[in-house]
Amino acid sequence: MDQKRKLFNEFLLKNASVNSRRHFLKNCTLGMGGMALSNFLSSCNISNNNLFNNSRSLNPLAPISPPNLGKVKSVIYLHMVGAPSQLELFDYKPELQKLHNKPCPESLLKGRKFAFIEGVPKMLGPQATFKKAGESGNWVSNHLPYFKTIIDEVSFLKAVHTDQFNHGPAQLFMHTGSPRLGRPSIGSWATYGLGSENQDLPGFMVLTSGGGTPDGGKSVWGSGFLPSVYQGVQCRSEGDPVLYLKDPKGISRDLKRDLITSINEINSNEYKNYKDPEILTRISQYEMAYRMQIAVPEVMNINDEPESIKEMYGVTPGKESFANNCLLARKMVSKGVRFVQLYDWGWDSHGDNEENALEAGFKIKCKEIDRPIAALILDLKQRGLLDETLVVWGGEFGRTPMQENRSGVQNAFSGRDHHGDVFTMWMAGGGIKKGAVHGETDEFGYTPVSGRVSVHDIHATILHLLGFNHEEFTYDFQGRPFRLTDVEGEIIREILS
């Protein structure tokens, strides 16, 4: 009885706070200035989040058409956490081999700042052999034998640069357009702008492998100031794909449906009173979670795939692996998921231990991704999905042509320091010119010679392929319109078909 009386009193107080002039004057006096300011700002036409309007009020993930004709419907972004060395994969530099183990020229060090290098390091020649592959004749190292089979599907960007040289800020910059916390990730922008074609699955799904997560934390797939319904949903390729997806014992499916209906009726009334988009997010997520209980186990099950497909990817059912995640990514986009983000941890090749050595751990990482990536491209192509899917590969920055030496002492194994001036990324799929190369670095792979592109340019190009003008695709926050590319960014038209 006491508990019921307490709940009833809470209801009366809540009701009074909404309807009583006394409560209004007591609690909202400071807010009246904000109301006046809000009215002033709206008269200046600053607030115009027109994608989150009445047409999407009941379903924030309802699919909508982009303002321009897009080339792709979905994106699969493969991020190698730790920053793989471009000099052992795609950027062949025979001149660097001639300087192997020789002191670094002073001209390469003057005025430079490194994460770990001190004093005068030695130059480090390529720790791989290279050959031209495919009809395009593009260079690829012996670490990626399977990749050679799909190299003609890929367009390389060999002079990408970033102004960040520490992992966390660089990863945030690569995925949110800012090295600081609080901005929406590119997957969140995509789902905000386009919604999702599958209403039983999240529009933005995240898979991790390698035994670790990005240094930038879950903010790299967060929604920032966008409504939280657009943040990435992390699934696991080992064990239950989503924690707490199963109902507790004694809770039937019908009882769960009735419970959610009752909760969402309360939330709907709250939204009518306050018009807070986060209430819509809450309603949408309750409904989504209910549907996910059926849809997620199905899409996350790779056991029902043909043996030929499992062999092609090299999957290991029941275990966390990059191969499993590549196959899951294909299944997700085929089911209408808008943006699939894969993070593979373990690419920080400093040479400070065997796991981070170019001659040891790096080779293992290459072997783990080579076959699945080739299979992903081929599988998408044979299903007719590659023409409507964009596949992006890269890290957060590149690696120096010098051997890393910490505190002036050369590391025990071969490794390279962080380097933001140049690194390699590639794209494949709808709207991408096959076999193209844009950008060139000097004879050591140290500075750009031509075709220099920025992280903002990468983002502008991805949004363009999805059907957005990156300069017009904005969301109002704190009194001004924000966009993924901030005040920069140019579409990289040299790689577009």
Per-residue model confidence (pLDDT) at position 249:
76
Total domains, the chain: 2
Residue 210 three-state SS = coil
456 within some domain: yes
Q: Which two tokens stand for residue 167?
A: 């992992």
Buried b (16+ CB within 10 A) or exposed e, 417-433: bbbbbbbbbbbbbbbbe
Q: Which two tokens stand for residue 186?
A: 């590119």
Same-domain check for residues 33 and 180: no
Per-residue model confidence (pLDDT) at position 43:
42
Q: What is the CATH number of the domain that holds 208?
A: 3.40.720
Cα–Cα distance for residue pair 105/99, rounded to 1 Å:
10
Same-domain check for residues 145 and 25: no
Regions of the chain short of the pLDDT cut 70: 1, 4, 7, 11, 14-57, 237-247, 256, 288-297
Angle at Cα 340 formed by Cα 334 and Cα 346, nearest 5°?
130
**Residues 101 and 127 sit within 8 Å (Cβ to Cβ):** no
Same-domain check for residues 309 and 412: yes
> Helices (H) and strands (E) in the chain — how many of each?
12, 19
Cα–Cα distance for residue pair 291/245, rounded to 1 Å:
10
Residue 14 burial by Cβ neighbours in a 10 Å radius (0-12, 13-18, 19+): exposed
Q: Which of 124, 79, 132, 115 is nearest to 394 (CA)?
A: 79
257 within some domain: no
Cα–Cα distance for residue pair 241/318, rounded to 1 Å:
11
Q: What is the DSSP string of 223-255?
A: -TTS-GGGS-EEE-SSSSSSTT-SPPTT--HHH
Per-residue model confidence (pLDDT) at position 45:
43
Same-domain check for residues 347 and 423: yes
183 within some domain: yes
**Residues 466 and 61 sit within 8 Å (Cβ to Cβ):** no
412 within some domain: yes
Same-domain check for residues 110 and 177: yes
Domain that holds residue 219: 55-241+300-495
Per-residue model confidence (pLDDT) at position 47:
41
Same-domain check for residues 336 and 444: yes
Same-domain check for residues 119 and 217: yes
380 within some domain: yes
**Residues 156 and 138 sit within 8 Å (Cβ to Cβ):** yes
Same-domain check for residues 62 and 22: no
Same-domain check for residues 237 and 310: yes
**Residues 126 and 89 sit within 8 Å (Cβ to Cβ):** no
Contacts of 278 (CB under 8 A, 6+ apart): 227, 228
First to last CA, the chain: 71
Per-residue model confidence (pLDDT) at position 16:
67
Cα–Cα distance for residue pair 479/199, rounded to 1 Å:
32
Q: Which of 319, 326, 371, 318 is nearest to 344 (CA)?
A: 326
Same-domain check for residues 8 and 124: no
19 within some domain: yes
126 within some domain: yes
359 within some domain: yes
Q: Which two tokens stand for residue 411?
A: 């590391």
Per-residue model confidence (pLDDT) at position 25:
61
Same-domain check for residues 25 and 170: no
Q: Which of 76, 71, 74 is nearest to 392 (CA)?
A: 76
Same-domain check for residues 86 and 139: yes
